[in-house]
Amino acid sequence: MLAFRFMLATRKVFNEEVLRRVNQRRELLHTIKIRKVAYLGHLLSHEKYELLQLIMIGKVAGGRGVGRRKIIISPHEK
């Protein structure tokens, strides 16, 4: 905000007026979201947070069986 004030060479103006003059808007929530995602990426790179990796990514160790899946029909459904 201070940088915009110096660009406009004014001091006694409300913050909203300064933002309006330079055609900007407050982007605090956007900045917070970007930083959260960056920090999450940092956390997921460590082995210490293996449970968090499992929760966020949802991968389970092992694999799917080979072959066609069998469809099980309960005897009560017809």
What is the token pair recorded at 62? 């092992």
Q: State residue 5's pLDDT score.
A: 67
Q: What is the pTM of this model?
A: 0.40
User: Which residues, 6 or more positions from 60, have their beta carbon under 8 angstroms from its beta carbon?
Assistant: 54
Structural domain contains residue 35:
yes
Give the count of domains, the chain.
1
Q: Residue 78 pLDDT > 60, yes or no?
A: no
Structural domain contains residue 22:
no
Reported as a pLDDT band with limits 50, 70 and 90, residue 77 is low
Domain that holds residue 49: 27-58
pLDDT tens per residue across span 24-70: 777 888 889 999 989 888 888 888 888 877 777 776 667 777 888 77
> Ranked by mean pLDDT, which of 9-13, 19-23, 31-35, 62-66 comes out on top?
31-35
